[in-house]
Amino acid sequence: MKILIVEDDKEIAKLVKLYLSKEGYEVILAETASKGLQKYYEENPDLIILDLMLPDFSGLKALKEIKKEKDIPIIIITAKGEKMIEL
């Protein structure tokens, strides 16, 4: 299984990658929403772990673009305090 992590905090991304790699997953990292979309199209991952607060544009915008293409599972991580996100 191939997992794409889109996270701008390098320490968080490295830690998540470490744990997932130890479990046998192939992990791809991207630090921005635009790089995440590029990696999504190039690598065709099975799952995406997506931060909402990214430096170039919102992870929510990237999520909406990805969901137009394919119904892929996406786990959202964020430091935002909101409980529910309207898609």
Query: Can you list the domains of the chain with their CATH numbers?
Result: 1-52 (3.40.50.2300)
Query: What is the model's pLDDT at position 69?
Result: 85
pLDDT digits (tens, 9 = 90+) for 4-24: 999 999 999 999 999 999 999
Report pLDDT for 85.
53
pLDDT of residue 76: 92
pLDDT at position 86: 55
27 - beta bridge partners?
3
13/85: higher pLDDT: 13
Nearest-angstrom CA–CA distance, 67 and 73: 9
Residue-wise pLDDT tens digits, 62-72: 999 999 988 99
23: tokens are 């479990």
Instruction: Give the Cα separation of 43 and 78 in Å (integer).
Output: 23
Q: Count CB-CB contacts under 10 A for residue 52.
A: 19
